[in-house]
Each structure stands twice: as structure tokens, then as C-alpha cells.
Homo-oligomer: A and B are copies of this chain.
Amino acid sequence: MDVIGVFSQRRRQLLDITSFVQQAVEASGVAEGVCHVYVPHTTAALTLNENADPTVPQDLLEALERTLPQVHWRHTEGNSDAHFLSTVIGASVHVPISEGELRLGRWQAVYFVELDGPRRREVWITCLGG
């Protein structure tokens, strides 16, 4: 399992971590399989989305914020919205590995989704296959 560190600068932020995932796949020696990318946090998430036009992650963050329901949160740390979005988005993404390389679609990037930053975070990467 590879561990990479991620440093977020804002409360909510998308960080493109594709190159780190590619490096982990190359170092793994797996030729055919799946790369499992994981956040060990409950107020962060991972997603795949477009990175060609920077307005896509901007729109995505705004849409996520506007999806948040009006709730009288019981949890007193002030970050229940982040726990909620982490469950909606999910703690892992899984990308095929073929011929020893990470096989993303043409427009796909792997994004770390910070939901309660700024913080130091980790991403854990496991390559499965042979």
C-alpha cells in the first residue's frame, strides 16, 4: 500500500492527484488489474471528473454546496456537512490498469475532494492484479 500526503488550502477544494496515482501504478509492477485509491478520512472524498476545463471542478464544488440540505446538525464540530458529502461522493475510486498503466478515459482525472480543510490528508493506494 502506497501512502501519499495531500495538503489542502481551503475548506472545500478539488485537488488533481492523477500523477501520484500514475506513479504508484508504475511502481507496483501490476500489468493488468485495478488501482484502488482510498481516503482514510470521514470529511474528505475521492472522485473522477474532467480536468481539461477548470470551470468543471468549480461548478462541481458549487453544486455540491447547493445540494446540502438545511439540517439542524446535532454534531457539534460544525462539519456534519462534510460527513454527509463524503458519504454521497465516496471514499474510494477504482481505475483499470492495463499494460502496466493507469487507464483513465480521455477527460478523466483523479480528484481528492477536501470537504473540511485546510488540513494535511493522506491517500492510500493499492494496486490489484498481476
Q: Secondary structure at chain A's binding surface: helix, strand, loop or mixed?
A: mixed
Tell me, in angstroms, the Cα distance from A80 to B81 when the chains sit together. Answer: 22
- Measured CB to CB, the closest approach of chain B to A32, in angstroms, equals 7
Residue contact B96 to A94, C-beta cutoff 8 Å: no
Tell me, in angstroms, the Cα distance from A95 to B56 when the chains sit together. Answer: 29
Counting contact residues on chain A (CB < 8 A from B), the size range is: 35 or more
Residue contact B62 to A96, C-beta cutoff 8 Å: no
Residue contact B92 to A93, C-beta cutoff 8 Å: yes
Residue contact B71 to A59, C-beta cutoff 8 Å: yes
A19 at the interface (CB under 8 A from B): no
Residue contact A40 to B83, C-beta cutoff 8 Å: no
Which one of B50, B66, B86 contacts A71 once the chains associate, using CB atoms below 8 Å?
Answer: B66
**Which residue on chain B has the smallest CB distance to residue A38?**
B96
**Which residue on chain B has the smallest CB distance to residue A105?**
B40
Give 4 nearest A-B pairs by CB, closest first. Answer: A40-B105, A66-B69, A55-B74, A55-B75
